[in-house]
Amino acid sequence: MNFLMGKGYWEFITSDEKKPALLENPTQQQIQANKTWHEKTRKVLYWLFASVSNSMIVHIQDAKSSKQAWDTLVNMYTTNTQARKM
């Protein structure tokens, strides 16, 4: 979390950074914004893959976005934490 905040990419996890829509006849600026968004979210996804153990990668390997991968990890750790408490 701190790493992503420090790099300025936390909004890709919290979903504040919305994917720019491409309309039927997009302008060059809209195409570039969409491309930039994809590059950034893929970078965050890469950092998530690089940060988790090999056994955890199988749980996030099909994630379509960095937010989806993050949410999967949060749900897994939340579930495990509650089970351990019991």
Place of tokens 């509650």: 82
pLDDT at 47: 92
**Is a pLDDT exceeding 60 seen at residue 83?**
no
Q: Give which of 63, 70, 78, 60 is closest to 14, Cα–Cα.
A: 70
Domain hosting 11: range is 2-85
The number of domains in the chain is: 1
pTM over 0.85: no
Place 26 in a pLDDT band, splitting at 50, 70 and 90. confident
Higher-confidence residue: 79 or 70?
Answer: 70
**Is a pLDDT exceeding 70 seen at residue 80?**
no
Interval 12-40 mean pLDDT: 83
